[in-house]
Chains A and B, each alone.
Chain A
Amino acid sequence: MKIQKTAVAGTMESSDIMVTIAPNEGNGMEIDLDSTVEKQYGKIIRRTIEETLKELKVHDARVHAVDKGALDCAIQARVKTAAYRASGEQSYQWGGEAK
């Protein structure tokens, strides 16, 4: 999946995470995280973001995430939503890897 433009998903409400994904052509993955639980879970959140993008076969992206204590499933959902929006892709891949 290719990130074509900047897109956002999620909110700043408690238990949510706001994820902004932007193109980063040829420069790999850059993740910038601002979390209320950075000290305790920062590493895990970054890993979840990275793995979710890998599952979507996104290789180059700049990600800015503001976390308000989101569960893993919410992080995965927001990353996927932002990535699909940023790619312009409308044909979703459920339960498997993106082509």
Chain B
Amino acid sequence: MKRLRRTMLFVPGNNPGMIKDAGIYEQDSIMFDLEDSVSVAEKDAARFLVYQTLSTIDYNGKELVVRINDPTTKCGIDDLESIVRTQKAIIRLPKTESAQDVLICEYEIERIERENGIKVGSTGMMAAIESAAGVLNAKEIAFSSKRLVGIALGAEDYVTDLKTKRSPEGVELLFGRSMILLAARAAGIDAIDTVYSDVNNEEGFRKEVELIHQLGFDGKSIINPRQIKTVHEIYTPSRKDIEKALDIMDAIEEAHRKGSGVIALNGKMIDKPVVARAQRTLDLARAVGVLK
């Protein structure tokens, strides 16, 4: 089973306390931020801190991601120069508007890999889409590089670009979310949803996670460790779903044994998509440890 990306915890890159604590939670990924959460005057300090952290701290198998600054600036290049060398983290490109943005970043990554004897292609990438142009180009972004493991929605900038604001129901995000999800699925990579900033609104957060789970997202960016449990709960297959999936797989096996072409379970035909969904449920159940 591929790596789980249910929860990606944002950690400001210039905060040693939060960087230290980030390892003690159950999130699937840690995203160290060198971009918006770091003031211009502290970019160098954050870069050194994240570099030294990646070089020394073992986060016990969690996926590590670093959100860099615009790679067409010296600041963004310095971020890449330091982070790519560690070979410990995926590079998250912010404010991606086109395939060209990804390719510019990839060009620099490849240059750094070559200059430092690092296997070309070994650094993974993730692209955050945060504008109307980015959403409209989601497909070409998702297909732009083999390094991409996923694309993510950054809703705060996106809604500002749309000239609206976020609502509790998230209706303004439906098109953007759907575009990003479809592009990711077509390209065979992950789709990661945006953050939910109101950490005290647990009910609103739960509803949003249920929505993105239903839409098909692989996971969500989070800004507080308190949000981890809710996401994992919603992303864990229910006992009922697991039993149904096991029944489907049993029925398939039985039919194959009998050489039967048509497979039915409880009077319902089982076809390829049903089997694929059942398999995914079982894979996820095993990955999260609720099924042996």
> CB within 8 A of B53: which of A9, A73, A84, A94?
A73
A80–B16 alpha-carbon span in the complex (Å): 15
> CB within 8 A of A78: which of B45, B51, B55?
B45
Contact with B along A62-82 (1 / 0, CB 8 A): 000000001111101110110
**B51 close to A74 (CB less than 8 A):** no
**B57 close to A92 (CB less than 8 A):** no
User: Separation in Å of the A98 CB from the closest CB of chain B?
Assistant: 13
Q: What count of chain B residues pass the 8 Å CB interface test?
A: 21
**B44 close to A73 (CB less than 8 A):** no
User: Separation in Å of the A94 CB from the closest CB of chain B?
Assistant: 5
**B17 close to A72 (CB less than 8 A):** no
Given the known interface contacts A73-B52, A80-B48, A94-B51, the answer about A16 and B17 at a Cβ–Cβ threshold of 8 Å is: yes
Q: What count of chain A residues pass the 8 Å CB interface test?
A: 21
Using Cβ atoms and an 8 Å threshold, which residues of chain B touch A14?
17
**A73 close to B56 (CB less than 8 A):** yes
User: Separation in Å of the A54 CB from the closest CB of chain B?
Assistant: 16
**B45 close to A15 (CB less than 8 A):** no
> CB within 8 A of B78: which of A15, A73, A92?
A92
**B85 close to A15 (CB less than 8 A):** no
A76–B54 alpha-carbon span in the complex (Å): 12
User: Separation in Å of the B18 CB from the closest CB of chain A?
Assistant: 8
Using Cβ atoms and an 8 Å threshold, which residues of chain A touch B52?
73-74, 76-77, 80
User: Separation in Å of the A52 CB from the closest CB of chain B?
Assistant: 9
Question: 8 A-B pairs, CB-CB below 8 angstroms?
Answer: A13-B15, A70-B16, A71-B20, A71-B57, A74-B19, A74-B20, A94-B51, A94-B81
